[in-house]
A and B are shown apart, each in its own frame.
Chain A
Amino acid sequence: MRILLPIKRVIDPYAKVKPLGDGSGIDTGNVKFDVNPFDEIAVEEAVRMKEKDPSIETIAISIGGAECEDQLRKCLAMGADKAILVESTREHDPSTIAHELKAWVEELKPDLILMGKQSTDGESNQVGQMLAALLGWPQATYASKITIEGGNIEVVRETDSGEETLTLPLPAVVTTDLRLNEPRYIALPGIIRARNKPLEKATEKSNKEPNIRYTKFQSPPARPAGRKVANVTELLAALSERGVSL
């Protein structure tokens, strides 16, 4: 069985970011980048599956600039077998990413695509569903438990109102939610050791044009500063001044 792991390089989720002064982009000058946390969960899950069944092959793939190599190396250090960097510096939107991934799926023929439910910087929560649609594969988003049994996969998934269970035939697309697992910690030596694992560099296969342009980046309006109250009595009085009586 082969598992494909689409990986996005994202702004460090704990960094505080601001728009550039002219609103043309996000100021990433002093910001670190990391593997999208949800993609890390996907890698961890695939590596755990492989630990149980060594015949499984796991391939991480990322579309982006040369610097994405750092994030792919991290995935290799976590235990992915192989990585592909599809070098691209042009503008993308979720649909161009989905089309590019589709082209790689046709070449690599994975049985399962495990990927994040959303990226923590773009937050679009689209690529998994779009890719599944383009491939005509069944999908299970927001997975919190995955069991593979024969040609089927059982996914416990989070919904707006609790957990449900889906059973779907492979090949399929599954997107990960936070509670699927806790990714292992990789220390720097591990990343260095992963240097001799295969990392293939490739060019784009798809020429889909984006149909969304991001034209301006701004800070959201700040909430007006509030004030401290001394005790519960004062709190209730302050609320009642604002028209809320508990």
Chain B
Amino acid sequence: MSRALFVCFDSEESALVTGCAAALGLPFDTLMLSGEGGAGDKSFVAGFEAVPPADGLAEALLSLSGQYGRIAFVSSMRSKDLAGRLAGLLDAAMLTDVIAVESADTFHLPMVAGSIVTTAKVTDGTLVFTFRPSNFAKDLPSTTGSTEKIALTPASRTQRTKAAARSGGRPDLAQAKIIVTGGRPLKDAATFEAVLGGLADKLGAAVGATRAAVDSGIAANELQVGQTGKIVAPDLYIAAGVSGSTQHMAGIKDSKIIVAINTDADAPIFESADFGLVQDLFTALPEIQAAAKGT
């Protein structure tokens, strides 16, 4: 376990690895699947325009990753897709969503929708893990010793026949400093967009949704925040018409400030919100929008 490799899907991720690398306390290199940059002693640049499907890619990564005792990824759907496959090929241990590093073989991770934090010890061999960057220091100084182009040629039997296209020009949930989230009472897509979208745009915020809102077609799937959606940690999280289910809270509890707007003074979300406003969201959000100076 002498060295660690941090695998980054894009340049934005390379800024997120230094805190975790420091906590791990091992010398490390980065592999940039797409984008430039990197951190650590050496940065391998693969230069993919679109990162290929996981099955072929994991195999192509074998010879490089085989030299490392710890292989780490920023937690995301795409990284878990690849990391699990790579761990399988390496017959390595894997930990998902590491939130703290005690040592290079002892880690903390959330379980059961964030109700439990467990300590996991790796007893033997290589470890592949994903970590939540919001739980680690950001932008620690890091030198990149050298950059090396690396040619990975995945032979995937899986074909991507239609690529994903992210809708709208709003900030990504994972990166946003402010998130405005709506729940079931937003009624329909047009109302959701008018009431939340307007405020979000004025604040330069990302838009999020509960599973109930996504399930009833009010918001797009990729906007779902929570245990089974995206885990977020913005400076400010505004939840409007959100009851505060365990599954939703599991995705937002590392936010710096949580604001809840709900007509029900007993809604569970008020237990975890820094500031709670018992008011109809259809009057509260426009008032906030009108009062805000905006970006």
8 Å CB interface, A128-172 against B: 128-134, 137-142, 144, 154, 156, 158-169
Q: Are A213 and B88 neighbours in the complex by a CB distance under 8 Å?
A: no
Contact of B91 (CB < 8 Å), options: A95, A162, A165, A168? A95
B279 at the interface (CB under 8 A from A): yes
Q: Are A13 and B157 neighbours in the complex by a CB distance under 8 Å?
A: no
B42 at the interface (CB under 8 A from A): no
Q: Are B279 and A169 neighbours in the complex by a CB distance under 8 Å?
A: no
Contact of A229 (CB < 8 Å), options: B92, B158, B276? B276
Q: Are A95 and B221 neighbours in the complex by a CB distance under 8 Å?
A: no
Q: How far is the CB of B216 from chain A (nearest CB, A)?
A: 12
State the majority secondary structure of interface residues on B: mixed
Question: Which stretch in A56-64, A74-82, A187-195, A216-224 binds the other chain?
Answer: A216-224
- Give the distance in Å from the alpha carbon of A162 to the alpha carbon of B221 in the complex: 7
- Give the distance in Å from the alpha carbon of A159 to the alpha carbon of B230 in the complex: 11
Contacts of B95 in A (CB 8 A): 124, 212
- Give the distance in Å from the alpha carbon of A5 to the alpha carbon of B40 in the complex: 42
- Give the distance in Å from the alpha carbon of A127 to the alpha carbon of B81 in the complex: 11
Contacts of B83 in A (CB 8 A): 126, 129
- Give the distance in Å from the alpha carbon of A231 to the alpha carbon of B288 in the complex: 10
- Give the distance in Å from the alpha carbon of A51 to the alpha carbon of B169 in the complex: 42
Contact of B277 (CB < 8 Å), options: A120, A121, A229, A245? A229
CB contact under 8 A between A232 and B284, given known A126-B87, A130-B84: yes
Contacts of A121 in B (CB 8 A): 111-112
- Give the distance in Å from the alpha carbon of A14 to the alpha carbon of B95 in the complex: 24
A183 at the interface (CB under 8 A from B): no
8 Å CB interface, A79-136 against B: 93-95, 98, 118, 120-134
Contacts of B164 in A (CB 8 A): 159, 161-164
Contacts of A126 in B (CB 8 A): 80, 83-84, 87, 94, 96
> A139's closest neighbor in chain B, by CB?
B55
Q: Are A132 and B55 neighbours in the complex by a CB distance under 8 Å?
A: yes
Binding site for B on A (CB under 8 A): 11, 13-14, 16-19, 26, 93-95, 98, 118, 120-134, 137-142, 144, 154, 156, 158-169, 177-179, 210-220, 223, 225-229, 231-233, 235-236, 238-239, 242, 244-246
* Number of B residues with CB within 8 Å of any CB on chain A: 91
Most chain B beta carbons < 10 A, residue from A124, A179, A227, A242: A124
Contact of B161 (CB < 8 Å), options: A122, A128, A165, A244? A165
Q: Are A131 and B88 neighbours in the complex by a CB distance under 8 Å?
A: yes
Contacts of A239 in B (CB 8 A): 236, 257, 259, 275
Contacts of B124 in A (CB 8 A): 211
Q: Are B247 and A214 neighbours in the complex by a CB distance under 8 Å?
A: no
B114 at the interface (CB under 8 A from A): yes
B195 at the interface (CB under 8 A from A): no
Interface string of B153-170 (1 = CB under 8 A from A): 000111111111111000
Contacts of B82 in A (CB 8 A): 129
Q: Are A130 and B55 neighbours in the complex by a CB distance under 8 Å?
A: no
Contacts of B163 in A (CB 8 A): 164
21 intermolecular pairs with C-beta atoms under 8 Å apart = A11-B112, A16-B115, A26-B112, A95-B87, A123-B97, A125-B80, A130-B85, A130-B87, A130-B94, A132-B55, A139-B81, A158-B77, A159-B164, A163-B164, A168-B158, A168-B159, A227-B274, A227-B276, A242-B274, A244-B257, A246-B294
Q: Are A167 and B159 neighbours in the complex by a CB distance under 8 Å?
A: yes
- Give the distance in Å from the alpha carbon of A124 to the alpha carbon of B287 in the complex: 42
Q: How far is the CB of A38 from chain B (nearest CB, A)?
A: 8
- Give the distance in Å from the alpha carbon of A125 to the alpha carbon of B160 in the complex: 22
Q: Are B221 and A179 neighbours in the complex by a CB distance under 8 Å?
A: yes
Q: How far is the CB of B123 from chain A (nearest CB, A)?
A: 5
